[in-house]
Amino acid sequence: MNNNEEQPVLTDSEEDRSEEEALSKRKQKEEKSLSEQLDEIIQKTEELAAGRFRKVKSEDVMVIYARFHKIITAAEETCGKHPEMKELRDSLGEALVSMSVLAYSFSDLHGYRGMIDEALKFLPETHSLRPRALRLKEAMNRKGVGFLSWMLPCAGLLVGFYFMGVWGFMKGATLTVAIFAVNWAFIRFLVRPDIYGIYLGKK
């Protein structure tokens, strides 16, 4: 055997083709991994929105939210590098819609509005979820949950402290609790069911 025999030399076109194949395989691997993780976001959020939300503490929701936000960020970056990844872009749009509902569940006003806007950037015009995302955006803006969830309790505390001085501690505290109860009931029975109904396709 001749050890000095020359190894076959790849032409430029063959090298380019080899690099393209390696890049394509790497893209497919990235897309599959992120798509699976994004599917998990959708599944978890559907479970919350389907009624199991009441059994989840707000601290648990925050943990889920923070963990999934990292996945969404990675998917956004990947779509930016490889914009032709249609499946991943669709999954990202769907996940952002799900995450907007999750953010809405603990009244993250800027979070859910920003996510719906981002979702609409990724969901193509023909995507079946896009009309529902538009209805969600309209309903979230119309309901004004941010004001009711944050401003009303703050106002309740101020009013309560004032009337504690005027009426005494017990009457002032009772008024404060009543304001909080009205706010909670409005969000729980009127706002959230409407949003979740749209999200689950029931409205």
**Predicted local distance difference test score (pLDDT) of residue 152:** 64
Give yes or no: residues 114 and 91 share one domain.
Answer: yes
Both 52 and 127 in one domain: the answer is yes
Q: Are residues 40 and 108 in the same domain?
A: yes
Domain that includes residue 47, residue range: 12-142
Q: Is residue 3 part of a domain?
A: no
Domain total in the chain: 2
Q: What is the pLDDT of residue 130?
A: 92
Q: Would you say how long the chain is, in residues? A: 203
pLDDT of the residue at 7 = 53
Does residue 55 fall inside a structural domain?
A: yes
| One-letter identity of residue 164 | M
CB 120 within 8 A of CB 130: yes
| Structural domain ending residue among the three candidates 142, 166, 182 | 142
CA triple 137-199-33, angle to 5 deg: 100
pLDDT in tens, the chain (203 residues): 455 555 555 565 656 666 777 677 777 777 788 888 888 888 877 776 665 555 556 666 677 777 788 888 888 888 888 888 888 899 999 988 888 877 776 665 556 778 888 899 999 999 989 998 998 888 877 655 555 556 666 777 777 777 777 777 787 778 777 777 777 676 666 666 667 677 766 65
Residue 145 CA, chain-centre distance (Å), reads 17
